Amino acid sequence: MKDCNCIFCKIADGKIPSAKVYEDDRMLVFKDIEPKAKVHLLAIGKDHFKLLSEMDSERAELLSYMFSKIPQIAEQNGCKNGYRLVINQGDDAGQTVFHLHIHILGGEQLPW
């Protein structure tokens, strides 16, 4: 991650500021800079990988850890009544940042 030229690695390293709502040694959750819902958070792992298709057992373990943390983080940040998790995988899904991330959307009745 140290020399990685990836915006989310730079956020994880503190080189680019972000509105963090949760951090531990394995993951970070921060507010999306262009929110698409009243609450729009992004959860990232601190190990860089681009795509869900690069999954292996170590990365799957990290994702599993992230999923174990997300419910409490979502509820503590305004998503008490439900939320949606989204992973955009690749160009057809409109993925723009190639560091795997989970969108957490909620805080209101989602319109779609």
Catalytic residues: 101
Among 3, 96, 111, 112, binds ligand AMP (CB under 6 A): 96
Q: Beta partners for 41?
A: 31, 104
Among 6, 7, 63, 85, binds ligand AMP (CB under 6 A): 7
Query: Under the criterion CB under 6 A, does residue 109 sit at the interface with ligand AMP?
Result: no
For the chain, the straight-line distance linking the first and the last C-alpha, in angstroms and rounded, comes to: 35
Residues, the chain, total? 112
Antiparallel, parallel or unpaired: β 20-23 and 101-106:
unpaired
Which residues lie near ligand AMP (CB under 6 A)?
Answer: 7, 16, 18, 32-34, 42, 88, 94-97
